[in-house]
Chain A
Amino acid sequence: MKTYNFSFKGKGSDFFGVVVVNWLLTIITLGLYYPWAKERTLKYLYANSYLEGDNFQFTGTGKEMFVGFVKIFGIVAAFYIGIIIAIKTQNTFLMGIFVFLFYVFFLGIIPFAIHGFYKYRMSRTNWRGVRFGYRGDRGTLMKIYFKDLFLTIITFGIYSFWMTTDLRNYTLSNVKFGSAEFKYKASGSDYFWLNFKGVILTYITLGIYSFWFQRDILRFYFDHLTLHNGTEKVRFQSKLSAGDIFELLIINMLILMFTLGLGYAFVEVRTLTKLFSSLEIVGNINLDTLQQTEEEYKNAFGDEALDAMDLSGII
């Protein structure tokens, strides 16, 4: 058994440079630079994430993401134009249809987007030149999604905790790290009770418990994740304490407040540094033996669709 070294070595001042140049170029190009700005940001964050002394690399390009962005923009714009026309002609029936279709589209595209996101993002991530990959099947993911969505609706949202874990179990268990593969095994009822307890105690303690609640959620994210290579195995454990979270959040908030949000780059770097350093990775996989097994995938539609719907957080 060995403990693997995992750390974020980015510097606030360097990342600030990346962010400012992005702002500048985005403004000058009236927003068209956005996908390239995303590329630069991801490249910086990946390149400063180190595992066993070697960094990760994001090989996606602004051009790929621009194409994805144009597609999703086109679809949303089409709906928007339809709704405007309906409003203009005061056609309530047409308007109803458009709004209905829009919601159906919105709900229906989520599993597509999640699938696409993983395919694209994983194929564009590598460490020591070995690509990650996603081997999930879109149909299976859709089935899980719609079944769970239905159950969530008829239980007035209670089932959403099982939905979250089901989706995570499926997607993360299909992520490959070269020839090694991730497994994620979490139970919906554990997640439900964790949230149940967290919310109630947070109320009772007037918010003080929220730091422990956050700690438990992070633990839940990481502690059910393992990496397998043949019979060898690596497990992950979050060692972030409630005190760490308290300190992290308070100082982040102060930075953002006193810089009017401009210190965002420093906040991001601080957070990642802390998060990475408190992640314990222990196991017996020989990381020198990973093989290049995953194919390249260039379609960034899913990545952009999740972004457009502000849903990047659900991954």
Chain B
Amino acid sequence: MKITSQAKYFDGKTSKPHFVELEVFLHNQVTFYFENRRLVWNFQDIKFEKNGEILSITKKDNLHEIIKIENPETADTIYKSAKTSQNLSWYQNILDFGPKFYLTAFVSVITLIACFYIFIIPYVSEKVTDILPISFDEEIGNTNFQQIKSTSDIDEKQSEKLQEFANLINFATDRKLYFKVINDEEVNAFALPDGTIVVYSGLLSKVENPNELAALLGHEATHIKERHSTKILARSIAGYAIVSLVVGDVNGIMTTLANNANELNNLSFSREFEQSADKGSYAILKQNKINPEGMYQLFKILEKSDNLEVPKILSTHPLTKDRMNYSKTLMDKNEYSFSSNPELQKAFDNLKK
């Protein structure tokens, strides 16, 4: 079948539009006269692109030679004929599925991402952590510790005493734990994946009995036992990877990787991991027959030093109030009997001297 149509032709040499009479043999070829020559464009040598109602036809080997058909009906007929004769690119065909397709595709993309976030990333990071040898944790932790060492003031004497105190507690782990005291006013403590537990002197000075200190060390030791740092690292890299993919910003992944390597010690644990560490701390107290009230009192100290409380949803740490309630319920359970441990008390007094 043949149709004829008015069209604009650009010859790729100047911007002057040439008005030509187009003869289109559907499914086959486009021909027209230009400067007294008959030009023949076969369907398989040309590209069809529809923009709004205008159809642009370009030669595949010279995209600067363009035919434009502005009559909507003719444009549509030619486009359809290109489609049925399979001369459209796969991409045009996908786009032609229309809004219904986009919406379905869109919903599936969102569902896919949500599944990734909620189920797959935590699962994968758990598995990846299982596969990674402990030496990985040790290496990262050690690199971090070297950095911390160079920027902070480690009190070797106090560290030794803290280590002595901790040695009296059974943390129920094969991992070697190293205890360090850093001279710093901040009321804080943290655990590095290589087994180093750092307590700031600011927090140490506020702790009043061995039970509180044991609860604190138990909490930090649980972070190490359960490899929370490594899990968080795996999660955040996987999470960033997904986000970058979706946004089409693959380059962003490189930046993320670089940032993560440097900012390991700034990674905060999620609330989930903090709760798990509180639980682990309780188990350690129980095993060592230490008064669980220590945990409650510890949170009281933290509460006092928290002058500004972030609403729960924004905070990575569970709210101290919630943690106090949690420890109170544990305490009220009266699950086990405890006795004061003179050895532990002695080591504690020595530390507080």
A40 to B90, CA, bound (A): 13
Chain A residue with minimal CB distance to B104? Answer: A20
Known: A9-B52, A47-B49, A80-B257. A27 touches B245 (CB 8 A): yes
- A80 contacts B254, C-beta separation under 8 Å: yes
Q: Residues 176-194 of chain A: 1 if any B CB is under 8 Å from the residue's CB, otherwise 0?
A: 0010000000000000000
Instruction: Select B261's contact among A34, A72, A87, A291, beta carbons within 8 Å.
Output: A87
Q: Which residues in window 267-292 of A have CB below 8 A to B?
A: 287-292
> A38-B248, A128-B66 are known contacts; what are 5 more A-B pairs with Cβ within 8 Å?
A17-B101, A20-B105, A34-B248, A55-B54, A288-B14
B interface list, Cβ under 8 A from A? 8, 10-17, 49, 51-52, 54, 56, 58, 63-66, 68, 91, 94-95, 98-99, 101-102, 105-106, 108-110, 112-113, 139, 143, 146, 244-246, 248-251, 253-254, 257-258, 261
- B248 contacts A22, C-beta separation under 8 Å: yes
- A54 contacts B248, C-beta separation under 8 Å: no
Q: How far is the CB of B53 from chain A (nearest CB, A)?
A: 10
- B94 contacts A21, C-beta separation under 8 Å: yes
- A26 contacts B245, C-beta separation under 8 Å: yes
A-B contact count (CB 8 A): 127
A interface list, Cβ under 8 A from B? 9, 11, 13, 16-18, 20-24, 26-27, 30-31, 34, 37-38, 40, 47-48, 54-55, 57, 59, 69, 72-73, 76-77, 80, 83-84, 87-88, 90, 126-131, 178, 262, 287-292, 307-308, 310
A307 to B245, CA, bound (A): 15
A90 to B144, CA, bound (A): 11
- A18 contacts B95, C-beta separation under 8 Å: yes
- B99 contacts A289, C-beta separation under 8 Å: no
Chain A residue with minimal CB distance to B12? Answer: A129
Q: Which 10 pairs between the two chains have the least Cβ-Cβ distance?
A: A290-B15, A129-B64, A129-B10, A308-B251, A31-B250, A128-B15, A17-B102, A288-B16, A129-B12, A59-B63
CB pairs A–B below 8 angstroms (24 shown)? A13-B99, A17-B99, A17-B102, A21-B94, A27-B113, A27-B245, A30-B245, A38-B248, A47-B51, A54-B8, A55-B54, A57-B66, A73-B254, A83-B261, A88-B139, A90-B143, A128-B15, A129-B12, A130-B14, A130-B64, A262-B110, A289-B14, A289-B16, A291-B13
- A292 contacts B64, C-beta separation under 8 Å: yes
Chain B residue with minimal CB distance to A87? Answer: B143
A84 to B140, CA, bound (A): 11
- A27 contacts B102, C-beta separation under 8 Å: no
Known: A87-B261, A307-B251. A27 touches B14 (CB 8 A): no
- A16 contacts B10, C-beta separation under 8 Å: no
A17 to B98, CA, bound (A): 8
Chain B residue with minimal CB distance to A30? Answer: B245
Q: How far is the CB of B213 from chain A (nearest CB, A)?
A: 33
- B254 contacts A292, C-beta separation under 8 Å: no
Known: A20-B102, A21-B105, A55-B51. A84 touches B261 (CB 8 A): yes
